[in-house]
Amino acid sequence: MMGDPMISKGITLTRHLLDDRTPIEGDLGALLIKIGTVSKLISREVNRAALHGKLGYTGEINVQGEQIAQLDLWSNDVLVDALKETGLVCTMVSEEMEAPLHVDRNCLPGSYVVCFDPVDGSSNIDINGTVGTIFSVRHRRGHGREHMAADILRKGTEQVAAGYVMYGPSTMFVYAAGHAVHGFTWDHTLDDYVLTHPDIRIPRQGKTYSVNHGNYHRWSEPTRRVVDYLSTPDKATGRPYSLRYVGSMVADLHRTLLEGGLFMYPGEAGEGKNAKGKLRLLYEVAPMAYIVEQAGGRASTGDERILDIEPSEYHQRVPIIIGSPDDVILAEEFYQGKR
């Protein structure tokens, strides 16, 4: 019976995803349930890190040239094992693994590529700040190892699902799979996620902008002009916007998704390491762009739609301007010389 999808409040994530009224393809529901299950393990570990000596850094540097937190590695391994166990995931790309992981035995027709950031906002772990997990799901098209790169480096429009888990005052699972964006809150008594934010829609315009203002001196002229404009008082256009910045993309984007406004991680002027910004396309920017667009928002580099970008490398960085459609369009006008 194709009634409304299961989106009345109080429905658990498991029931929602397994119900035939929720328009989700094939094994995707089972895959998302697995990600939800493993996120509860990560949530528990985040909550107990200080008690378990899991704070701090391993002393190793990842492919990004960044310090690896203990929880980054632990969460990566837990996610890899869980995705392997599903039998559905043929290829994995992770912020914490230099090369993609190919799982031959899972590489059947209809299998998935999952790109993920096991712990986003790691610098917040040791100060008990909000962190998250970000994931992006797309189909394998070929089946052998030789087809792996071609299947990974595809536009964000080919994602079949994307989501994030936010380990904040409550743990939330937010996903989109082509129809709507739904948010679930972990109910410890049920030990399952319960639908609390059905059909999230981002406001057309917001009142906050979210960017690391400390990089102002490194930005290109258009970025500076966007931020100068948003922070200049003008009652008629609801300015100045308030600045909100957690330093964890999941936390900053969750606020932007619910309340509207703008999140930016722009590139820096010149040809340095951060010329394209800091955030990675496959497992941070593209999944978040997919989610925000399905909530009615917009995501671009300032010049081009994020989901139309054809990736060339696994850990490729892109500048991102994302959030309420009116706010992103306004920012784009500065980048495109219309303001």
Residue ranges in contact with Mn ion by CB under 5 A? 95, 117, 119-120, 284
Least Å from the CB of residue 29 to Mn ion: 26
Query: Which of these, 3, 305, 335, lies nearest to 157 by C-alpha position?
Result: 305
Q: Which residues are paired to 305 by β-bridges?
A: 300
Region of 95 on the Ramachandran plot (φ > 0 left; ψ -120 to 50 alpha; else beta): alpha
Helix or strand run (H / E) with residue 76: helix 70-86
Q: DSSP 3-state assignment of 72?
A: helix
Note whether 152 and 277 are within 8 A (CB).
no
Of the pair 193, 283, the CB lying nearest ligand AHG is at: 283
Least Å from the CB of residue 266 to ligand AHG: 11
Which positions make up the binding site for Mg(2+)?
95, 117, 119-120, 284
How many residues interact with ligand AHG (rule CB under 6 A)? 13
Residue from 24, 114, 160, 249 touching ligand AHG (CB under 6 A): that is 249
Longest dimension (CA), the chain: 61
Q: DSSP 3-state assignment of 50?
A: coil
Straight-line distance from the first to the last Cα atom of the chain, in angstroms, rounded to the nearest whole number: 51
Residues comprising the chain, all counted? 339
Q: Which of residues 275-294 bind ligand AHG (CB under 6 A)?
A: 278
Contact letters for ligand AHG, residues 184-213 (x by CB under 6 A) = ----------------------------x-
CA distance 185 to 201: 17
Residue from 36, 121, 206, 267 touching ligand AHG (CB under 6 A): that is 121
Of the pair 24, 251, the CB lying nearest ligand AHG is at: 251
At residue 112, φ and ψ (nearest 5 deg) are -115, 155
Least Å from the CB of residue 331 to Mn ion: 22
Which residue's Cβ has the minimum distance to Mn ion? Answer: 120
Q: Which of residues 251-270 bind ligand AHG (CB under 6 A)?
A: 252, 265
Q: Which does 247 bind (CB under 5 to 8 A by kind): ligand AHG, Mn ion, none?
A: ligand AHG
The site for ligand AHG (CB under 6 A) is made up of: 66, 95, 117, 120-122, 212, 247-249, 252, 265, 278
